[in-house]
Amino acid sequence: MLKRKIKYPKFSLLLITYILTAFIFGGFLNEEMKNSILDLHYLGAFIAGVMFTYSFTAGVATAVFLIIGQGNNLIAFGLIGGLGALMGDLVIFKVLRGYFKEEIDKLGQEKIIKALGQNARTAAVLKHYVLPILGAIIIASPLPDELGVSLFAMDKVIKPKFFSVMSYLLNTAGIFVILFIGR
């Protein structure tokens, strides 16, 4: 039997969870289940916010926010969802930020990344500007925050207080976009 090793197993599993979420929530959800999600109100927005930050629940959280977006009071739902996402990101920043480290290190060994790092000036620009901007984009999107947080965490100058403010603002902005798409 031929065994083939998957080069990026965590990213592959993440892609599978997004595909499954799209299949499950893509029109197959009945009205009763949608109403159950809406009945959770602010608690549902907070829990979805926490889920929004983690790889294997980000897709489900996005679907929940799309459903919540059909309800009222999107401002409160967005702000509370942002608080949940901040809590999730702080856990990642403080405890789990090494989860994707292995694959990030592996990505760092790719030819294109190595070529960018050959020049000291390019490496400095990449570390201090490009990686935090890329991290901010990832945190604001429904992509897993572990990767975005890891990119922020690579720069030791970034303090937890600054990260907290950035995390809240970026996640809340991303959640608002999803809520308004759901509307």
- Tokens representing residue 162 in the block: 């600054």
Q: Which domain holds residue 149?
A: 9-182
- Average pLDDT of span 28-43: 70
Work out the percent of the chain whose per-residue pLDDT is above 70: 72
pLDDT of residue 108: 67
Residue-wise pLDDT tens digits, 109-151: 777 766 666 666 666 676 777 888 888 999 988 777 878 887 7
pLDDT in tens, 60-109: 888 888 888 777 788 999 999 999 999 999 888 776 555 656 766 676 67
Q: Output the six-digit token pair for 117.
A: 């790092």
Query: Is pLDDT of 34 > 70?
Result: no
* Domain membership flag for residue 3: no
**Tokens, residue 40:** 């959770």
Alpha carbons 180 and 65: distance in angstroms, whole number = 9
Residue 119 within a domain: yes
Q: Give the pLDDT band (50/70/90) at residue 25.
A: low
Pairwise CA distance, residues 54 & 32, whole Å: 26
Is 4 domain-assigned? no
pLDDT (0 to 100) of residue 122: 65
156 vs 109, 127, 150, 151, CA distance in Å? 21, 10, 11, 10
Question: What pLDDT is stored for residue 84 in this prediction?
Answer: 95
**Beta-carbon neighbour count of residue 11 at 10 Å?**
16
Q: Which two tokens stand for residue 153?
A: 């965490």
* Residue 1 within any structural domain of the chain: no
CB–CB of 183/70 below 8 Å?
A: yes
- How far, in whole angstroms, is CA 89 from its chain's centroid? 9
How many Cβ atoms are within 10 Å of 92's Cβ, its own excluded?
26
What pLDDT score was predicted for residue 83?
97
Other beta carbons within 10 angstroms of residue 61's beta carbon come to: 25
- The confidence score (pLDDT) of residue 41 equals 81
**Domain total for the chain?**
1
